[in-house]
């Protein structure tokens, strides 16, 4: 039962452009399908927007992988180092999270990877692994053109990172150089580089034989799916026998050529224009955690300007970029309908006073509009991928704080997918348990066994 807060009729009317109809979503699906097909055939469509990179992962886990592995997880808010011991149908994992200082996120690539190597070194010492040489799976969640399982060319940075001096360079080589400078190359053998969607899929596939799609809704959004090798025109490697390859869609970029203009709002445009990557990742900016709270803030201001909220008053904080955090959306919507305690506290903290119940109800409604639109777009995206796989039964592995913590995101997606997926196709959405760690270890395991 998904609650739906009743706003004032004027606010409902003012926010009409946030409500996507089923026709809008079906149109979106058609456009995405076209872009995926173009991405798969990039040789003949060099300007394709949804890149659909082949990952070189051709085998899904069997559940029989064993051994001890290191994993790195770089690509969002937290940077993590892990050691994972896989046993049959069971695994042990220890991890540590490190902070990436802002100056390393937007500095030189050498500094960033040296920092990564330094953290890995700290971890190796802590875990007393100095005498071992372990295979490492590197979860690297930025657009990458893969040339082998352990080679990938950095295409661009997203999600607030920008180390543009290393664009066009092999990310595995950059990390390897940093390991050498740090003197820990003897402890580590980099086996595979994967992104977080692939890790999510791998980790769910270890448990569910029907898993064919991975989705992330966290800082950013992206998806991957299992495609027939015959359709993956850009795949340029040996067929290892499975006849399939994992495709990293990089669907965050969907809309970068204007395709999504039919559903973008003035606030979507403003978020893009004031970002560090204007014109890029348009789809991601309408959905993911890095932007969701900011969208709510801008929509609150839209209502204030129309004098439909707070009697037309605002505050200094309410006018400041990123002051309304994405987790507030979850917190506000997690309250029982009619209970606005958290909403009131959040707004008071942003300098707003004398809030009426109707104000609070309207703000909750704004949150619902933004999260609902994001969930419905994800639902339409997944429905497109399900159609593309032609599977009749499919499990989708999902990770990311927005999916994990928003009280209704899962149900909003399910509700809409039931409308959009062809009748007769059975699907389920499965929360991934630590895909970027375990998924990287599983990929390193399958790489070690085939080398």
Site for ligand ADP (CB under 6 A): which residue of 39, 54, 137, 218? 218
93: left (phi over 0), alpha (psi -120 to 50) or beta: beta
Return the HEC string of the chain.
CCCCCCCCHHHHHHCHHHCCCHHHHHHHHHHHHHHHHHHHCCCCCCCCCCCCEECCCCCCCCCCCCEEEEEEEECCCCEEEEEEEEECCEEEEEEEEECCCHHHHCCCHHHHHHHHHHHHHHHHHHCCCCCCCEEEEEEECCCEEEEECCEEEECCCCCCCCCHHHCCCEHHHHHHHHHHHHCCHHHEEEEEEECHHHHHHHHHHCCCCCEEEEEEECCCEEEEEEEECCCCCCCCCCCCCCCEEEEECCHHHCCCCCHHHHCCCHHHHHHHHCCCCCCCCHHHHHHCHHHHHHHHHHHHHHHHHCCCCHHHCCCCHHHCCCCCCHHHHHHHHHCCCCCCHHHHHHHHHCCCCCCCHHHHHHHHHHHHHHHHHHHHHHHHHHHHHHHHHCCCEEEEEEECHHHHHCCCHHHHHHHHHHHHCCCCCEEEEEECCCHHHHHHHHHHHHHHHHC
For residue 196, indicate whether it is catalytic: yes
* CB-nearer residue toward ligand ADP: 134 or 329: 329
* CB-nearer residue toward ligand ADP: 76 or 137: 76
| Residue 200 found at the interface with ligand ADP (CB under 6 A) | no
Site for ligand ADP (CB under 6 A): which residue of 150, 203, 281, 401? 401
In whole angstroms, how close is the CB of 328 to ligand ADP at the nearest point?
A: 8
| Residue 439 found at the interface with ligand ADP (CB under 6 A) | no
Which residue of the set 35, 59, 73, 196 is catalytic?
196
In whole angstroms, how close is the CB of 249 to ligand ADP at the nearest point?
A: 16
Site for ligand ADP (CB under 6 A): which residue of 330, 362, 395, 432? 330
Shortest Cβ contact with ligand ADP: which residue?
76
* CB-nearer residue toward ligand ADP: 224 or 421: 224
| Residue 221 found at the interface with ligand ADP (CB under 6 A) | no
* CB-nearer residue toward ligand ADP: 78 or 173: 78
| Residue 76 found at the interface with ligand ADP (CB under 6 A) | yes
Furthest C-alpha separation in the chain = 68
In whole angstroms, how close is the CB of 330 to ligand ADP at the nearest point?
A: 3
For residue 399, indicate whether it is catalytic: no
| Residue 405 found at the interface with ligand ADP (CB under 6 A) | yes
Nearest residue to 202 via CA among 246, 257, 156: 246
**Dihedral of CA 250/252/257/263: which sign?**
positive
Site for ligand ADP (CB under 6 A): which residue of 152, 255, 289, 397? 289
| Residue 219 found at the interface with ligand ADP (CB under 6 A) | yes
* CB-nearer residue toward ligand ADP: 135 or 252: 252
Which residue of the set 48, 141, 330, 446 is catalytic?
141
Site for ligand ADP (CB under 6 A): which residue of 83, 232, 290, 309? 290
Which residue stretch of 23-31, 50-58, 179-187, 394-402 sits at the interface with ligand ADP (rule: CB under 6 A)? 394-402
Q: How many residues bind ligand ADP (CB under 6 A)?
A: 14
Which residue of the set 59, 80, 170, 177 is catalytic?
80
* CB-nearer residue toward ligand ADP: 106 or 425: 106
For residue 432, indicate whether it is catalytic: no
In whole angstroms, how close is the CB of 385 to ligand ADP at the nearest point?
A: 19
Site for ligand ADP (CB under 6 A): which residue of 86, 402, 420, 429? 402
| Residue 45 found at the interface with ligand ADP (CB under 6 A) | no
- Give the residue numbers marked as catalytic: 80, 141, 196
Contact residues: ligand ADP, CB under 6 A? 76-77, 218-219, 289-290, 326-327, 330, 400-402, 405-406
């Amino acid at each position: 039962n998904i609650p739906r807060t009743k706003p004032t009729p004027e606010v409902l009317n003012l926010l009409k452009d946030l409500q996507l109809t089923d026709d809008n979503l079906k149109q979106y699906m058609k456009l995405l399908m076209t872009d995926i097909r173009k991405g798969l055939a990039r040789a003949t469509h060099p300007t394709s927007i949804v890149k659909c990179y082949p990952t070189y992962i051709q085998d899904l886990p069997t559940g029989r992988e064993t051994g001890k592995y290191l994993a790195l997880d770089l690509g969002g808010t937290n940077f993590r180092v892990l050691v994972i011991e896989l046993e049959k149908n069971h695994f042990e994992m220890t991890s540590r999270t490190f902070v990436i200082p802002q100056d390393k996120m937007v500095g030189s690539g050498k500094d960033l990877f040296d920092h990564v190597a330094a953290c890995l070194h700290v971890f190796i010492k802590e875990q007393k692994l100095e005498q071992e040489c372990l295979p490492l799976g590197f979860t690297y969640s930025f657009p990458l053109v893969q040339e082998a399982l352990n080679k990938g060319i950095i295409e661009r940075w997203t999600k607030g990172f920008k180390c543009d001096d290393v664009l066009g360079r092999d990310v595995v080589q950059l990390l390897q150089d940093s390991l050498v400078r740090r003197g820990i190359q003897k402890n580590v053998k980099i086996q595979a580089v994967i992104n977080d969607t692939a890790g999510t899929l791998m980790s769910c596939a270890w448990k569910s034989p029907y898993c064919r799609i991975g989705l992330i809704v966290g800082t950013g959004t992206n998806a991957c799916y299992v495609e027939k090798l015959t359709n993956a025109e850009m795949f340029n490697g040996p067929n290892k026998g499975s006849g399939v390859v994992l495709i990293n869609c990089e669907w965050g970029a969907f809309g970068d050529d204007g395709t999504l203009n039919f559903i973008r709002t003035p606030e979507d445009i403003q978020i893009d224009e004031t970002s560090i990557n204007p014109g890029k990742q348009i789809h991601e900016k309408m959905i993911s955690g890095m932007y969701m709270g900011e969208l709510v803030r801008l929509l609150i201001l839209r209502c204030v300007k129309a004098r439909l909220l707070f009697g037309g008053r605002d505050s200094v904080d309410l006018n400041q970029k990123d002051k309304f955090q994405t987790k507030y959306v979850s917190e506000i919507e997690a309250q029982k309908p009619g209970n606005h305690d958290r909403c009131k506290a959040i707004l008071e903290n942003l300098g707003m006073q004398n809030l009426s119940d109707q104000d609070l109800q309207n703000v909750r409604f704004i949150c619902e509009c933004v999260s609902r639109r994001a969930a419905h777009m994800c639902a339409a995206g997944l429905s497109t991928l399900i159609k593309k796989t032609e599977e009749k039964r499919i499990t989708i592995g999902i990770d990311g704080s927005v999916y994990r913590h928003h009280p209704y995101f899962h149900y909003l997606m399910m509700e809409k997918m039931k409308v959009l997926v062809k009748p007769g196709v059975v699907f389920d959405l499965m929360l991934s348990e630590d895909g970027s760690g375990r998924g990287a270890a599983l990929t390193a395991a399958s790489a070690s066994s085939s080398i």
